[in-house]
Amino acid sequence: MSAGDQTNDGDKPGDTVSAAQVWPEVERAELLARGAALKWASGVFCRPEYLERLGQYRKRESQRTASIHTRLKSMAQSYLEGVGWGLEQLREARAELREASHTLKKAAVESIQNAEGGASLERLREVSINHCQLLATVSNLPRLYSVHGMVLETERLVESRRLLEAHARLMKLERWQDDILWQLHGATGSLSAEDQCLVAKYFSGVGQLVDALAKELWAVVSSALALARQNPTPFVSSVRIVEREEALDRALLEERGSSRGCSRPLPPRRPRCWREHFFQVLEEAVCARFRRVSYLHSRGPGLAGHLSALQHGLMSDLATVRHLLEHCVPPHYKLTRVYLRVSHRCLHAHLTQVTNWDLESGEIFAVLNWVLHIYNSPDMMGDPELVTDLEKEELGPLISTEGVEQLQKKYVQSVRKSVSEWMHKALQVELQDWKRDQEPDTDHEGFYQTSLPTIITQMLEENARVALMIGESLRDQTIQMGLYEMENLLNRFREALVDFGKEYCKDPSNNKTKFYLHYLLASISNCIVLKKSTESLQQQQSSRSVGQFSRTPPNPLAALDRAVRRACRLVMDQLLQDLQPFLPGLLTRSWLLQGAPTPKLCHILEHHLELYARVRPPCRQRLQEETQWLTVVEYVRALMQKRLVCRSEEERWQLAQQMLQDKQLFAEIFLGLEGEVSVPEVNPLGLLPVLADFIRLKDTSMLTLEVSRLAAKYPDVSEEHVSVLLDVRGDVSRDVRAAVLDLLEQSTPPLPAGYRPIFTDILVPPSTIAFCLPTAKCA
């Protein structure tokens, strides 16, 4: 520590300041080192006993310092050696640069001397160039003199369509022209505009020959399809010329690309690319043939024939290409594939135009059938021999998927318009048939029928069958449309039935409605036939297409059910109208004594049931059941009118017996229909014996039990109905009446599921009593 302090004290102040100014980091490092040493010493010698180790610490630090000095000296020595080696290299480089500079100066002097010598040879160079030009001129004089004659001869060959000979002479002329241009270019190293214009003017006939030959070539190529069967030789010659030109273009381009330095320029109007132009001309020829066929009677009814002509022309030309032209060209031309691609594109453009016309349904069908089936059939593109040619060539559809869907929609709309008109006409014919002065026709089973269901069924099934020839999607759309129109027809049909009924009610004696009931029954049978037809159409539909084409699918079966219900209601109204003259005579004293008019009612019922037998099941059974209900309801309604009030037990017995006899007559009528009447859950005729038992009951105290039995079997019976029955008996006291009605009020069961009410349709007439005595009970 003291040695360091002495050294610092011995330095000059001026040197210290200078070193600090030059290397401020040195001063900072020294301060940091002193601070670190003081910190270390204060930590090590914090106690007096630690001073005994001072000698050890001083020796260790002295060794460390000596090691550091040794390493610093070694590093400085290596740096000095490197600097010395670098200075030696710089001295050697300076010597070499001096030598190179001396050599360059000598080369510059020699170059100046050579330039002065070359100037004296300029005259010799000019003489040499003139000599080369004169030599080229002398060598080309025979060719130049024969150019005009060869051009004329080549023109005659082109006009006579001796194309190969003409092309050989043309190539010779072009080669002469190219040689002259190259000699002029090589002599001077460049070709002046004056020389180029002079050569072009002298060989102007060559360019005209090229144009004339090309014109003949493309004329032959464009007529190849028409002339191939007669004489394919010109076409073969044209292909050979095209291949020669293509090979010459390729050779010139390769020579120009591979040459280095001074490259030979391309001859005028090269490359010609005649192979590419060959295919363009061939495509234009194919399109022109399609255009000639495409507008020949292609509108209106002639569209199907037009498509057939397209098919014939296409396959005829395709056979020409495959069996004749394909053998006249190199294999890599793939002429059949080219023809297929071009014809497909022409057909696509033409059919796109056709689909934009205002087509009728028959025309749309012809287009769809031709596009989807005929075009891809074995007779056309599906030919097994063509499959290999089409494997690597994706032609695409003739009409896009969206276009086909649009055509199908237009087809369905057109068919819908036609179907709607035919259905309207068929309905008008049906309405006229209703007013004929004869019964409806019958089928082989004896059921009434008219022409309406036959017309509708055949029309819808025929449309579905025709649409299926295109595809299931179109069939499903057509069936969907037909079901919509069927629903509309049935709604109009139901309205027509209502109008027919109103017209008959206005004048039942009118001869135009003489067979009113018969045609109502025929209408019901027609609905049954239409229902079967509708179910058959619905079964033909694909399950995935049901409801696919509309948010609200048609429901013709519901419309059929409404029409049948309306017709059955009109039939029952007619039956009631026929029974009406005899109903007032029921359950009267004359009826009790003589039994009339029950036989007349039975006669009317038998007549109606005979007519109902002409109705197809299940509506025949439905009409027969409704007849039973109507008969019983009117019979009980007559009882509720209290036309007959019994005065004695004998009259009650007589009334019950007569009711049982009437029930037997009715049962014989309905049960004599060969078991065709289905027995309902609640037989309406069974009500008459129950009412008869209620009336002839001798012990009035048992009436409560009888009423309980009646209410259990017919839960819709009301207090008013029972009250009338008690009045008809004529022997029921007020107490018994009150007990019976109270029991009925307390024990009225709810209507069971599936129960058809009978008393609900029977209204009890109001009482004719104007006043009552003011008894305590009334009060």
User: What is the residue extent of each domain of the chain?
Assistant: 28-116, 276-399, 405-573, 581-749
> Minimal CA–CA distance to 528: which of 654, 592, 615, 656?
615
736 CB contacts (<8 Å, ≥6 apart)?
Answer: 700, 701, 703
Per-residue tokens: 328: 């006249």
CA–CA dist 476, 190 (Å, integer): 79
Half-sphere exposure of 493 (CA within 13 A, CB side): 33
AA letter at 577: Q
pTM for the model stands at 0.68
**For residue 724, what are its two tokens?**
């009338």
Residue 295 has pLDDT above 50, yes or no: yes
* 381-386, long-range: CB < 8 A, 24+ apart: 381/340, 385/322, 386/318, 386/336, 386/340
Average pLDDT over residues 605-611: 93
Q: Treating both helix axes as pointing N-terminal to C-terminal, what angle do 163-188 and 233-258 enclose, rounded to 10 degrees?
A: 20
Give one DSSP letter per residue of 460-486, joined into a string. HHHHHHHHHTT-HHHHHHHHHHHHHHH
Tokens of 142: 């025979």
For the record, the structure tokens of 27 come out as 């001063």
Which of 476, 459, 485 is CA-nearest to residue 408?
A: 476
Query: What is the dihedral angle through the alpha carbons of 428, 607, 600, 629, rounded to the nearest 10 degrees?
Result: -80
Q: 12 pLDDT band (50/70/90 cuts)?
A: very low
Rounded CA gap, 490 and 78, in Å? 118
Q: Give the Cα separation of 488 and 465 in Å (integer).
A: 22
Cβ burial, residue 279 (10 Å; 0-12/13-18/19+): middle
Interior angle at CA 718, CA 713 and CA 719, nearest 5: 120
CATH (residue range 405-573): 1.10.357.50
665's tokens = 């007559």
Whether 778 has a pLDDT exceeding 80, the answer reads no
Q: How far is CA 301 from CA 12, 311, 417, 659, in A?
A: 127, 17, 18, 74
Token pair for residue 646?
Answer: 């019994």
Least confident of 130-144, 443-457, 545-559, 670-684: 670-684
Nearest 5°: phi and psi at 643? -70, -20
Residue 562: partners with Cβ closer than 8 Å, 6 or more residues away: 490, 491, 494
For residue 269, what are the contacts with CB-CB under 8 A and spacing of at least 6?
Answer: 207, 210
Sign of CA dihedral 644, 649, 652, 657: negative
Give the pLDDT mean for 192-207.
62
Whether 724 contacts 764, CB under 8 Å: yes
Q: How many other C-beta atoms lie within 10 A of the C-beta of residue 537?
A: 22
- pLDDT per position as a tens digit, 434-443: 988 899 999 8
Q: Residue 14: pLDDT above 50?
A: no
Q: CB under 8 Å to 320, separation ≥6 — which residues?
A: 225, 228, 229
- Please give the full DSSP string across 640-659, using - where no structure is assigned: HTTS----SHHHHHHHHHHH
Using the predicted structure, report yes or no on whether residue 421 has a pLDDT greater than 70.
Answer: yes
- Residues 25 and 740: their CA atoms lie apart, in Å, by 133
Most confident stretch, 184-188, 687-691, 757-761: 687-691
Read off the tokens for 225. Answer: 């399809």
Sign of CA dihedral 390, 394, 395, 401: positive
Dihedral, 343, 349, 350, 353 alpha carbons, nearest 10: 170
Pairing state between β 441-442 and 448-449: antiparallel
CB 427 within 8 A of CB 595: no
Q: H helices within 160-203, ranges in order?
A: 163-188, 193-202
* Cis peptide preceding 715, ω within 30 of 0: no
Query: Is pLDDT at 391 greater than 80 in this prediction?
Result: no
Coil, helix or strand at residue 672 = coil
pLDDT band for position 520 (cuts 50, 70, 90): very high
Instruction: Identify the pLDDT of residue 774.
Output: 47
Instruction: Identify the residue whose tokens are 């022997």.
Output: 731
Residue 707: C-alpha distances to residues 376, 689, 703, 737 (Å)? 82, 14, 6, 11
- Helix 649-671, helix 619-640: angle, nearest 10: 170
Show the tokens assigned to 252.
């010139």
- The 3-state DSSP class for residue 441 equals strand
Here the tokens at position 71 are 């390493």
Weakest mean pLDDT among 21-25, 69-73, 588-592, 647-651: 21-25
CATH of 581-749, one of 2.40.160, 1.20.120, 1.10.357, 2.30.110: 1.10.357
Alpha-carbon torsion angle 198, 204, 210, 216, nearest 10: 180
- Whether the CB-CB separation of 325 and 228 falls below 8 Å is answered with yes
Give the closest residue to 407 by CA, choosing from 489, 467, 330, 325.
467
Q: Is 109 exposed, middle or buried (0-12, 13-18, 19+ CB in 10 A)?
A: exposed
Mean pLDDT of 189-204: 59
> Taking the mean position of all CA atoms in its chain, how far away is CA 299?
27
What's the pLDDT tens digit per position in 522-534? 999 999 999 999 9
| Mean of pLDDT values over 448-470 | 92
Q: Distance (Å, rounded) from C-alpha 345 to C-alpha 95?
A: 82
Length of the chain in residues, anyone?
779
Of residues 499 and 25, more confidently modeled: 499
Alpha carbon distance 711, 752 (integer Å): 12
Contacts of 430 (CB under 8 A, 6+ apart): 450, 451, 452, 493, 496
φ and ψ at 441, to 5 degrees? -70, 160
Q: Would you state the pLDDT for residue 13? A: 43
SS3 content of the chain, % helix, strand, coil (to 5): 75, 0, 25
Mean pLDDT over 123-134 rounds to 73
pLDDT average, residue stretch 469-489: 92
